[in-house]
Amino acid sequence: MRIVLSDTYRDMSRKAAYIVASQIILNPRSVLGFATGETPLGLYRMLISMYWAGDLDFSGITTFNLDEYYGLSEESPYSYRFYMKKNLFQHINIREDQWHIPRGTAENVEEECRRYDRAIEKAGGIDLQILGLGVDGHIGFNEPDEKFEGGTHLVELQESTLKANARFFPSPEEVPRFALSMGIKTIMKAKKILLLASGASKADVIYEALQGEVIPELPASILQLHPDVTCILDGGAASRLEKERDERFS
Ligand code: GLP
């Protein structure tokens, strides 16, 4: 695992954008895995700027998002589908048939999960997966569990996640309690992973995920076993790693 330290959120986002841009330049038909949440917003803004500057062409890529809230309609401004359109897709040259997000309103959830897995497989798997990190160590919406989940599945969100994500909804009661998420095995099958974490609220979980035991109770810890992970941290998120390192020197 490569750990890249950035002083600021802006610098973290810019470094991430260069990595995504180089992936697209080297393989214009790349399959990218996208994440939601606050962390990748700066990255998406930089990618949009690169597109408008004429430096990046998205017309050949395919994308798969990690997750979607269960039960939110496609038009809901709180759905991840809406988030992706608003924060990236509507600003770049990508057609609707190039991007994929699990359907949170599917009548048959099991079928939708299998359909999503098949679509990822048919596309040849994910070349570069972008990941954020929940405060409880979740990646996608893979919550702490007794085992690592394989494929796309329905998840019951933990109280800490409901609380953390309430900031995106008009009231905490409106946060859906379930979500559809890509599984850990699919994430681990991505050829490259780019993990982003920003802010002091992520310092402990980053430390545990990167330096602690690999356990399903801390889903992100599995990334230690992936052969090609780049983790970009801003000062806040790196603070515990740096403190533990510095304490080793007299
Ligand atoms: C949500 C998403 C995750 C994301 C996490 C962290 O739970 N499902 O994919 O990584 O939030 O969000 P933030 O970046 O806002 O801290």
- For ligand 1, atom 11, name the residue with the nearest CA: 37
Pocket of ligand 1 (CB under 6 A): 35-39, 66-67, 132-134, 140-141, 161, 165
Measured in angstroms, how far is the CA atom of residue 134 from the centroid of ligand 1? 5
As annotated, the active-site residues are 67, 136, 138, 143
Ligand 1, residue 40: give the atom nearest the CA. Answer: 14
Alpha-helix runs per DSSP H in 123-234: 159-165, 184-189, 203-211
Nearest one of 108, 99, 126 to 192, comparing CA atoms = 126
Report the SS3 class of residue 183: coil
Over range 173-197, report the average pLDDT.
97
Percent of the chain with pLDDT over 70: 100
Say which amino acid occupies 193.
I
Residue 86 has pLDDT above 80, yes or no: yes
Atom 12, ligand 1: which residue's CA is nearest? 37
Tell me the CA–centroid distance for residue 250 and ligand 1, in Å.
37
**pLDDT at 210 exceeding the cut of 80:** yes
Query: What's the rounded mean pLDDT across residues 214-225?
Result: 97
User: pLDDT at residue 200 above 80?
Assistant: yes
Q: Are 223 and 209 in contact (CB under 8 A)?
A: yes
Q: Are the CB atoms for 84 and 36 separated by under 8 Å?
A: yes
Does residue 20 carry a pLDDT above 80?
A: yes
Nearest to 40 by CA among 19, 62, 61: 19
What is the CA(208)–ligand 1 centre distance, in A?
Answer: 17
190 touches 134 (CB < 8 A): no
Q: What is the pLDDT of residue 249?
A: 87
46 CA → ligand 1 middle, Å: 19
> Is pLDDT larger for residue 196 or for residue 244?
196
Amino acid at 196: L
The answer to whether the CB of 142 falls within 8 A of the CB of 209 is: no
pLDDT confidence of residue 149: 85
Mean pLDDT of the chain: 96
28 pLDDT more than 90: yes
d(CA 103, CA 12): 31
Number of helices and strands (H, E) in the chain?
A: 8, 10
| Rounded mean pLDDT, 19-47 | 98
pTM of the model: 0.96
Residue with the nearest Cα to atom 9 of ligand 1?
140
User: Which of these, 98, 38, 66, lies nearest to 179 by C-alpha position?
Assistant: 66
pLDDT digits (tens, 9 = 90+) for 102-124: 999 999 999 999 999 999 999 99
